[in-house]
Amino acid sequence: MNSNIRTAHDIRKSYVDFFLARGHTEVPSAPLVPKGDATLLFTSAGMVQFKDYYLSPENLPYTRAVSVQKCLRAGDLESVGKTLRHHTFFEMLGNFSFGDYFKHEAVEWAWEYVIDVLQLPPERLYVSIFEDDDEAFGIWNEKIGVPAERIVRLGRKDNFWGPVGKTGVCGPCSEIYYDAGETKGCGSSGCAPGCDCDRYLEFWNLVFPQFVLEEDGTYRPLEKPGIDTGAGLERIAMIMQGAEDNFHTDIFQPLVDAVVGLLPGGTDMTGEAKLGINMIADHA
Ligand code: SER
């Protein structure tokens, strides 16, 4: 990597500074157990503490926010340790707009951060968009200059996000992927962004909250759409540190080392043992 950004601390700081310079207010991470939200056990995304801001973006203390949110997701529990990239507990870098900027700025700033600040090589990057989101395609392709063959249209499972819980704000999304190389891939002929293997690492999700899913199942358009993005700190650390997986980054290596230090000498650190070590590091 060309940039000097390496450690998790560097990444957090560069991200927050980038969005502070673009008129965002830095908001501290909310508690892992959301306050006054009967629909959620845990904070699973940066937007959780702002859920109501999207519903009525009037008289808010700010309309642009940036945060580094501690998150807990039980949904990926079975993948932890088996893939290079899944966690139950992780930190999400996010920038948010509540009825303020929308798709153009979200996409332009994300690309600027990735290319100018992190200095990731564009030839390793891909983006996905929701299948019929021609506006997002136009922004990525015509405005940003991402070649059409690097823009993948994916369906609801991958590229429509939310709501968290049964009701609430949701919308189409667009993701940025880093090609970690053939050696990390499944080798199948159809392997591409969106594949479940570790080759195309999705590290930033740009959500365009445009709807509220109501209890009766209808999608009500939001009067003023917003932006909700989430970038995986551990995944960006893996990329910036050229690490083998998330467990070999400066975030997890000390935990892995501590677990290894408790094991009897001569333990075979591959296979089941490696899986177990990674799981304990994640849960710790
Ligand atoms: N809420 C979206 C996510 O969790 C983007 O922040 O992926």
What is the block-wise mean pLDDT of the chain (284 residues), using blocks of 10 residues? 92 98 98 91 96 93 98 91 90 98 98 98 98 98 98 96 92 98 94 94 98 96 97 98 95 96 87 92 94
From ligand 1's centre to the CA of 205, what distance in Å? 6
- The residue to mutate among 68, 210, 229, 236, having the most atoms of ligand 1 within 8 angstroms of its beta carbon, is 229
Closest CA to ligand 1's atom 4: 45
Predicted confidence at residue 137, as pLDDT, reads: 98
What secondary structure does DSSP assign to 214-270, as a single string? -TTS-EEEPSS--EEEEEEHHHHHHHHTT-SSGGGSTTTHHHHHHHHHTSPTT---S
By most ligand atoms within 8 Å of CB, the mutation choice from 43, 47, 49 for ligand 1 is: 47
Residue 264 CA to ligand 1 centre (angstroms) = 40
What integer pLDDT is reported at residue 243 of this predicted model? 96
What's the confidence (pLDDT) of residue 267?
84
CB neighbour list of residue 251: distance below 8 Å, 6 or more residues apart: 8, 233, 234, 237
| Ligand 1: centre distance to CA 158 (Å) | 12
Q: Closest ligand 1 atom to the C-alpha of 162?
A: 1
**What element of type H or E holds 126?**
strand 125-130
**What ligand 1 atom has the least distance to the C-alpha of 46?**
6
Tell how far CA 71 is from the center of its chain: 11
Count CB neighbours of 46 within 10 A: 27
